[in-house]
Every structure is written in structure tokens, then in C-alpha cells.
Structure 1
């Protein structure tokens, strides 16, 4: 551009000089005064014109330099943004409102093992078969308003199914007449596997922690069953001795010709304390049966609590599951609190991962017992209330305690991973974080906490009565509430 302007300037200067020379020769015959004046005017015009052309040349040079700088800056920014997109740890898919994929970053190609060409558009459902375009607005609301990632299944080109979390946001640009959307995709396969391992580890930790209490719960009835069995052994020996004496007396009586002899049963009855035996033996048998039933109940609760089926949802009686967990945790709360239950009798069974659910209830009950002990000590003045009810579309579980409660700054963070207020070695800070994951992510439910410092805490768990997602049942509900 500068060369063109310079060439044009030289041509213009040459033309001006030629015209000036021609004008000068024509005016040679005129008077010297007139010629001098004309010469000065022409010189000024030529100088002004040359200055104008040079200014234009310099201006064009500056503009051209700035344009080149801007172009390089734009190119650098585009390259930088492309590098950022291609080096994202998550996949990025740009698609239009019809579901046609406009572009993918390198992570997406790797994640989906895709062989698609950038020039060939394909539907996003080829990558995520469970992606429902009719729910696009729901996905947008969950991603932008509630800040929730949506969990769905994705599929590689080889047919391998794996879980992902997606977050969708609208773009300001269009593709033709179609609106474009950003879709951030995160492979959560390893996270789910680690969470499962962590839940299992915490479950084993909980069982280990509860072992002493459970052993005591089993040992108490076992002890009086053992004592009663020893007593029954002695009672049987006394009864057998009495029967032996009666047999000998009867034999002697039948062989005797002296009919005046009498069988003194009162003496035998008193000698072997059969009166006492007649009263205590039934009691001992009753106590033993009660103890055996207690042991059977504890073992059954342990079996129910430890039911290992992480990957399969079953139809679960929530009341029975909670009752079993209360029994397992008895060693934690029996010396500090009473437990009151108010279970709805017409509560339907729901589709549930029983093992993780039991762990959630156990964590909350143990936390309640610890909070009560912090406030009341071992005085036994604590109270834990557990209730269940159905309110369409939710099954609602409330666990309330009158323990030490939590200040607001603590209650706002209790679902954060590794957050704990307990002393080092007494808590990992994972219990309620896992509870949140189980309720919200695995069961599409909600977990809320309402706590007042030095007054107590109430946890409310909402599980869907049906298999609908939480967004479908209550689209504007926050991901969890903190009172």
C-alpha cells in the first residue's frame, strides 16, 4: 500500500513540475514583474501539493503499520484462545439448536474416541445418546441458574458407555439462523469409582468404629442367656434328683406290706427347692428367649445395614432401613440420648441404593449423638427425633437433635469435602460430603440443614417417590439449602 502511494506521489510531482515548466516557458515573453509573481505562485502550489502528498504517504504508512499490528494481535489472540480450548482438561462441544455439532476440542476427540471430520456435521446424540434436545431449556436452567451439572451417559464410537457431567451455556454468535451453544463435558468415570471406594472405606471405618458398641449390645443379652442357661442346668439337676427320689420311694412303697407308710412329697418338694424352681425357670426361659431375639435383631440389623449392592437400585422400605441403622448405631447414642421415631405407616417403597442410603442415615445419627454429648455430656438428656412422610413428589426424612448446633459459617460449609470441626484424628470431613453426593447425585434428591448454635440441628432429606430427576420435579429448587 505504501509503495502504491509513493508511486502515485512521484507521478503527481512529475506532472506538476512539467506543467510548471510549460507555464513558465509560455510566460517568458511577458514582463519580468508579471513573470516573477507567477513563478512564486506556482512554486507555492507545487510545494503545498508535494507536502500534501507526503503527509498522505506518512499517514498511510502509520495506518498500514497499525493495521498490521492489529492483525497480528488478533491472530495471536485467536491462537491463544485456540490453545486454551484445545488444552482444556474437559471436553468442549459447540452445537446448534438442532443438535448438529459445529466443533470439538482435542479433549472431546480423545474422550469420545471420535473419527469424525471437522467438515462433516453430526448430531450430538451420537456422542451422548441420552442427551434430550427437548430438555435443552431445562439443561440451560440447571447449568446457568442453579449451577448444577447434568449427569448423563456418553458413548465412544466403539460403543463404550461412560458417565459424564455436562454444563451448557448459550453463545452470542449464530450459525446461519441457528443459535449456538457451548457444552462442557467432563468424564466422571474415575470420580465415581473413587467415590465408591471412598464410601466403602468409610463404611468399613464406621463399622470398625461401631464394633465396640455392637459387641456390647450383643454381649449384654449373651451374658444373661449364659447365666440363665447355667441356672436351668442346675434346676434340671434338682428336678431330676427329685424325680429319682420319688421313683425310689414309689418303688419302696409298692414293695412294702406296711400300708401305713406315706410318701412325703412335701419333704421332697422342699428339699430340692422346687417351689423356687417353678417360679424362676419360666422367667429364665423367657429372659433367654428375649436375649436371643435381641441378638437376632442386632445381627439382622447388621446384615441389613451391610447389604452390599452399590451399583443396583432396589425397592427399599425406608422405615425398615432407618430402623436397622438406628439399631446398629445404638452404641453411639444409648448413653447420651433417646431416639424417638415417627414413621408414616403408608410410606411406599422407593427405588434406592440401600447401602449408601444407610451410610447417610448413620453419619447423621452419629453426628447428632456427638453434638448432644458436646452439649449435655453423658447425662442422657439428649433427644434424637426421626420422622418420615410422603409429600408428592417427595419422600421426606427429618432427623432432629437438641445438641450443640452449628453457627451459620459452619452450617454453610458442612457439605464441602474434607470440612470438619472435629479434632484431628476424630473426623475426615467426608461424611456429609458423601451424604450430599449420595442424596443429590445418586438419588436426584435434596438435602437441607437447619441449625441454630446451642439449640440443635435438623437435617431434611428429600428423595423422589418416582424415578424422575430432581430438576423435573422441582426445577427452581436450589441444590441444597442451609438455614
Structure 2
């Protein structure tokens, strides 16, 4: 492919083309593309020799601003993304294609998210001297994806809400029952104490007789002291267990999602999985036993743990549905869901397995398509696995594998970099 050195500005384009017609045709083509076509020379700073006019609509700056050096390209890049772009330039200077996402700051103070794809340009000696590339505005796409992520979380939380209420209501009920029992028991014990106090006063005055001892025996029998001696400690223990259970569920919910704090940070994947299992317990307990095999030495992982929690929910609930289908077909006994974690070199591996129906080949080919679902409308929207793949593969730059056998079950395996993926790096 032949490279041309362009000089584009607010003035008519000048180019080393064979004919003016060729130059005019190329200029019209580039001006009507949605992407910003560019050619740049590696310098300090990088110097743009070609910059198509859609750049002006994207940023509110003129082409002359950049080509004259009045505005540095790095000055247009969001300050938190400059390191990302510089890092992307490094392999490009070694001859590798470049694909990176970052943010550009516009003249009106707004921010646009862009996808920058380029190939290296070499001189006659074969040395890499620059890039030919295109910049695409992906702001709307990313906003839509984030809205989908939020919607997906809210939908799942809504589906889980009834189960969570049940999980909290059960211990609250026996806490209430025990507290009413303790209140009644306290009244009985208090009456017995008053009888003891009256008997003690008679003893002090030397007025106590055999009939008073009999009255005390009757008071103890009325208070059911032997019964209360065994039941009150048990009621207190059960109440404390109920309080701990509610506290555990609330803590798990707090760990599960801070919906407005969706950022990359070091996270304990084992803890995240434990919290998620508590949150979805009601959805699993009627169809499956849950087994866990967590690597106790798993390091903290740089990730958006809120998104991964949602991934875990989707896969666990899918596993429960798959096992539920088997039970509905007459197997009867509970299935098994197994959750494992381990470290493999620079990655952590999370595997969620079920003994459900397995996924037929015709479904497997389409299972990541938007809105494709084999479930009824009350169980799925066809966005769950697409969300899983987006979060694992796109957001965390990990890998998602599916191993399934019809009639035996399915395992979804997620591989996530421990050090974390560079945000928006493609």
C-alpha cells in the first residue's frame, strides 16, 4: 500500500498524488467517513501530517491547531489516559498494529471516548517512522454498554430480591418468636423472684414456717423453672444465630454491589464469590448442593469486583436453571454446583460447573447473541451471557471458556489477569 504525505488545513488540500482529481476524491472520501483518518510521524511530540476534517466535529478544534503545534495531541488526551496512549505507541514503534481506547477533551469541556486503530508506516530502509490510522468516536456505544450493565444488574437484583427477603425473613421470624418467649419467661421468672424476696423477708423476721416452703415449691412449679432453665439459654443462642445470619446477608449484599462505585481496584475474589453465594442462596438451595474449592493463597486481583459479582450471579443462576430443568424431567434428586478458584501464572481462574442439562450445539453457537434465550420471559432476557462475555473479555481483557456435554452439565471458566487489564486498551 502506497503512503501519501498530506498537508490538510482550512486551506485546500495539497498532496503528492498523481492528479488533482485523485486528491479531491480522497479528501471527499475522508471527509465523509465517520472515522477521523490520520497519518502521523513519531516525534516528540507525535506529529500529524494528515488529519481529516471529522476531527474538527469530534473535538471542536481545527486541523491547523494540531498541525501547527498550537495544540499538542497529548494535550487533547484526557490526563488519566495519556499513559495508556503512550504505552500503546511503544509496540507500534516496533512495528505492531495498534488498537487502543482513550478519551479526548473537546473545546467545550466535554469528553469523547474514542477507539484509535493504526498500522505502522515504514520508510525506504524499513524503519518504522509513523502510523496510518483511523479514530472512531465510541462514546455513545460505551454509554449504551454501561447503561446495559446497570440495567442487567438491576434486573438481576430484582429477580433475587424475593429470595433475599425470604433469607432475611426466616431468621427474623424465629428471632421474633424467641423474643416473645423470653418476654413471657421473664415475667414468670420475675414473679418467682418476688416470691423468693417475700420468703427471704419472712426468714429474716423469723416468721417462716413449713407452709412457706411449700408455697415456694408451688411458685417454682408455676414458673416452670426446670423448663425455663433449659429453654431460655437455647432461645438466646438461636436469637444470636439469627442476628448473625441477618448480619451475614446484609454484609454480603454490601459486598455484592456498590452500584455507583464501578471502578478497578484490588479485590478478594474468594470473598466476592462467598458473598455472591449468600446472595443467590435462595435461588440455588431448592435445586442443588453447592461445593466450593477455593485457593486459599489466591492474591488480590485488580478488577471491577461489582461487575464480576454480577457475572457470578448470572452463571450461578444459569446453573440452577439448568439443574432445575433436569429435576423437572424426572431425575428428582438435587444436582451439584461446584465453584473453584486457582492461580495460573499471571492469572486467576474461576470455574463454575453444574450437573444440569448441558448446552446443545445449536444453542451454543448463538448463546452470546443479544436477546437470544431458551428460557421463558420470567427467567431471562437473553442478555446475561452477553454481559458475562463483555465484562470478562472486553472490560477485564480475560478469557471465557465453555465446556459442556448434553445430559452431563456445563462448566464456564473465566481467566482474569491478576494485575488487571489497562482500561480501554484493546
Provide the TM-score with structure 2 as the length reference: 0.80
Unaligned runs of 5+ in 2: 1-18
Distance 2:408 2:241 in 1: 38
Question: How many corresponding residue pairs?
Answer: 394
| Residue of structure 1 equivalent to 2:57 | 110
1:20-73 Cα distance to aligned partner (Å, 9 max, x none) = xxxxxxxxxxxxxxxxxxxxxxxxxxxxxxxxxxxxxxxxxxxxxxxxxxxxxx
Deviation at 1:372, TM superposition (A): 1.2
1:252-280 Cα distance to aligned partner (Å, 9 max, x none) = 44445576656234443223211111111
| Residue of structure 1 equivalent to 2:403 | 450
| Residue of structure 1 equivalent to 2:223 | 272
Q: Is the 8 A contact 1:93 1:108 kept in 2?
A: no
Deviation at 1:303, TM superposition (A): 1.6
| Residue of structure 2 equivalent to 1:133 | 89
Q: Choose which of 36, 58, 68 in structure 2 pairs with 1:91.
A: 36
From the superposition, tell whether residues 470 and 340 of structure 1 become closer, same or farther in structure 2 (CA, over 3 Å).
Answer: farther
Deviation at 1:246, TM superposition (A): 2.4
Distance 1:312 1:180 in 2: 34
From the superposition, tell whether residues 309 and 317 of structure 1 become closer, same or farther in structure 2 (CA, over 3 Å).
Answer: farther
Deviation at 1:136, TM superposition (A): 1.0
| Residue of structure 2 equivalent to 1:192 | 142
Deviation at 1:116, TM superposition (A): 2.9
From the superposition, tell whether residues 233 and 176 of structure 1 become closer, same or farther in structure 2 (CA, over 3 Å).
Answer: closer
Classify the secondary structure of the residue corresponding to 1:263: helix
From the superposition, tell whether residues 380 and 112 of structure 1 become closer, same or farther in structure 2 (CA, over 3 Å).
Answer: farther
Q: Choose which of 165, 188, 201 in structure 1 pairs with 2:151.
A: 201
Deviates more, 1:323-332 or 1:128-137: 128-137
| Residue of structure 2 equivalent to 1:25 | none
| Residue of structure 2 equivalent to 1:351 | 302
Q: Is the 8 A contact 2:270 2:341 kept in 1?
A: yes
From the superposition, tell whether residues 269 and 118 of structure 1 become closer, same or farther in structure 2 (CA, over 3 Å).
Answer: closer
| Residue of structure 1 equivalent to 2:277 | 326
Q: Is residue 2:130 matched to residue 1:183?
A: no
From the superposition, tell whether residues 237 and 441 of structure 1 become closer, same or farther in structure 2 (CA, over 3 Å).
Answer: same
Classify the secondary structure of the residue corresponding to 1:417: coil
Unaligned runs of 5+ in 1: 1-73, 144-148, 473-478
Deviation at 1:182, TM superposition (A): 3.5
Distance 1:355 1:201 in 2: 14
From the superposition, tell whether residues 257 and 263 of structure 1 become closer, same or farther in structure 2 (CA, over 3 Å).
Answer: same
Q: Is the 8 A contact 1:307 1:354 kept in 2?
A: no
Distance 1:257 1:418 in 2: 88
Question: Highest relative contact order (Cα 8 Å, sep 6+), 1 or 2?
Answer: 2
Q: Is the 8 A contact 1:347 1:390 kept in 2?
A: yes
| Residue of structure 1 equivalent to 2:164 | 214
Distance 2:415 2:191 in 1: 65
Aligned pairs for 1:421-440 (under 5 A) are 421-424=374-377, 426-440=379-393
* Larger of the two Rg values belongs to structure: 1
Deviation at 1:101, TM superposition (A): 3.0
Calculate the aligned-residue CA RMSD, in Å: 3.5
Q: Is the 8 A contact 1:170 1:182 kept in 2?
A: yes
Distance 1:423 1:260 in 2: 78
Deviation at 1:184, TM superposition (A): 2.6
Deviation at 1:92, TM superposition (A): 2.1
Deviation at 1:353, TM superposition (A): 1.6
Deviation at 1:452, TM superposition (A): 2.0
Q: Is the 8 A contact 1:166 1:185 kept in 2?
A: yes
